[in-house]
Structures are given as structure tokens and as C-alpha cells.
Amino acid sequence: MVDKGGLWRVRFSCEGKRVEVSTGTAVKGEARTRAVAIIRDRFDPSASAARSASWDEIVTFMEAHPHLRPASRRLYLKSIKSLRLIFPDHEGPAALTPKEAAKFLREFSRGRSANTVRNAYRHLSSLFAKHLRGAGYVESNPWDAVDPPPEVRHEPRAPTDEEFAELMTYLEATYPGWTLIRLFVQLKAYTGCRTGDVCALRSDQLRDGRIFFDPDQTKTRAGRSVPLPPEMLAGLESIKGETYLWERFASDAVKYRPNNSKGAIEFSPSYLYWAVAGIFKAFNKSRPGKPRLRPHDLRRRALTQAAILFGTDAAARAIGVDPQTARRYYIDAQRASKTDEVFGGLADWWRFGGGGAKPGEGEAKKTP
């Protein structure tokens, strides 16, 4: 590269001819990045066409992406939609600048929690870094130059046995005789799987007394199987559809949720996902003033209970979560660590010994 008139120019040979093109910038680091794009465009015109793709073309690309889980695809498309609502006339991802990325975070943060904004940042940054750059749609990731809002940590809280029983009672009272929806909640609560993974189960994944999760269905890309209690297994065998395990949900919804159904529709995992979210929303609305219970909280409940019984590492491996992720986001430490029992014992020690006495010495002092 050479500096001419305050702007960096790139020189290279193409088809036996010497070519010199201005990068249009005086910043050497930025000029290098642009120089790579200039040379690539000269030798591969299709690369330039890819970087002029519109957001509509990107949406089509992501909808057809062969290696995305439905839940991941849904999050990426939702993030693109949020970005386009703030920049409705934006040309496409290659035109997005760090300044615009920062503006998006400021605008998007209005009325939203810091964690919601942080998640949108993570999804958009991942979109650019993992998918658009690799496919040639962008040269760089503008989100790298933007600081996301700090994470607000909330200690994981798992639903209690009483809260879970309250949910099951609500389902029985609201949808009497609807076995399928109760089985769905029970299977999710038992396996601790993500809602999207449970929604996408096929009937052929129920076999040999187990539920088998395919590698391409799980976020960790690791297949696993879960043995089922006999009663749950029998119930699932009785309701499974021809293709999908929960296929009957679409026709059942016409009967059991007439106010929420638009008539008989074709089943899809996405349809079930949002219907389940609506059922939980109605449940929470029926019990004002009490802690909200979301489908994902059942994953916390399963991991917490498994950690109590078998330890965090064993629980995480069985349910398909990294142990550190389990500790950070899922396991209710208050319950899994038996905090109340520990401090109950410390209270006795303090009352009868305290001041450095060993546990047991206080008990000895109590005996006449």
C-alpha cells in the first residue's frame, strides 16, 4: 500500500496488469481491511455481490441455513427484525457501522432490561461473526467495536415442588381430560430439556423405553437418551402422532383451547412452542402476586433436583449442560447446597459452642 494525498492506495497485479486503487481512508488499519476486499472483488466479483446483499436476502439465507437449530434460527431472525425496526431503511449488513450498532443498543434499551439488550447484542454479534462473515456477506463485525451493557446477575431460582403441583392442578382444572399437555409438562420437567428440543421430538425417537435426542436437535450438538418411568412411557405411547410425538396437539387445541385456536391447522414444533408459552402465561395470570413460572424454569428444577441427589457435575452431564453453565444459570444454590440445613447446623453449633468450639462439643455440654 502507498499513501497518496492523505489516502492509502493498494497496488496489485491482475491478469498481467498493474492495478492501483484508492481505499478511501487515511487510517492504515482500516485501509488494510478495505484492501483485502478490493483485491477479493477484483478476482472474485461474486464476493462483491454478496456484500451488497439486502436484509431481505439475509433473512432468506438464515431461514434456509441447514445447520441451525429452530430455536437458534428464531433468535437470529428476531434480532434482525429488532434491528430493522430501528433502521427501517438500512441497506444491509455490510453497510452497518459501529456507530450504528451503538445507536441500535441505545434505542433498543428504552423500556428494556439490561439483560434483554445484552442478549440482543450477543445474537447480532454472533450473526455477523459466525454466519455472515463466513458466507462472505460482511468483511468485519461492527459489534466488536461496541460495548454491551453489563450483565445483571440473578441467582437461579428453581420452582418448588408446591409450585409445580400448583401448575399441574391448574392444567387439570383448566383442561380436564387433556392428557397430552400434562404429559408435555411432565416430560420437560423430568428430562430438563429445552422447550424447543421437546417440541421437536419425533415419534420414532420414543423407543426401547427411552426418549432419544438427536445431536442436531440439541444446543450442545451431543445426542443422548433418557430412560422413562413406566407410567410416562405408556402415556407417551398412547398419544404419539404419525410423525411428531405431539402431533395431536394441533387438533386437540381446537377442543381444549377454542378461544386461542383459529381452527384446525397443521402441526409444527414452532406452533407448539408458542402455544405452551401462552398456557404458562395464562397460568401466571391466574395467580397474581406469586413468582412467575416459565417453561424454562422446569429445566432449572430438574437440574437442581439432580444436583441435590447426585452432585452438580453428574447432573449437568446427564441433562446435557456444561457444569459451569449449570452452576451459573440453572442450579438453585440455596436448595442444591442445602443452605438452610447448613446454617441450621451452624445455629446449633453457635448456640451450644460458638467461639471456635468444634461441632459436637456443644452437644456434649448439653448433656447433664
Question: Does 367 score more than 50 pLDDT?
Answer: no
Q: What percent of the chain clears pLDDT 70, i.e. is strictly above it?
A: 81
Residues ≥6 apart with Cβ < 8 Å to 30: 23
Q: What is the distance between the alpha carbons of residues 295 and 153, in angstroms, rounded to a whole number?
A: 20
The pTM of this model reads: 0.61
Most confident among 44-58, 106-120, 338-352 (mean pLDDT): 106-120
Structure confidence at residue 334 as a pLDDT band (50, 70, 90): low
Q: What percent of the chain clears pLDDT 90, i.e. is strictly above it?
A: 44
Query: Which among 94, 66, 68, 252 is positioned nearest to 260, based on CA atoms?
Result: 252
Q: Do the Cβ atoms of 120 and 79 come closer than 8 Å?
A: yes
Please give the pLDDT value at position 368. 43
Please give the pLDDT value at position 294. 93
Element holding 11 (H helix, E strand): strand 7-14
Specify the DSSP class assigned to residue 263: S
Q: What is the distance between the alpha carbons of residues 302 and 260, in angstroms, rounded to a whole number?
A: 30
Please give the pLDDT value at position 115. 86
Query: For the ranges 71-75, 196-200, 234-238, which has the lowest average pLDDT?
Result: 71-75
**By CB neighbour count within 10 A (0-12 exposed, 13-18 middle, 19+ buried), where does 348 fall?**
middle
The rounded mean pLDDT for the chain is: 83
The one-letter amino acid code at 222 reads A
Residues ≥6 apart with Cβ < 8 Å to 216: 69
Question: Does 170 score more than 90 pLDDT?
Answer: yes
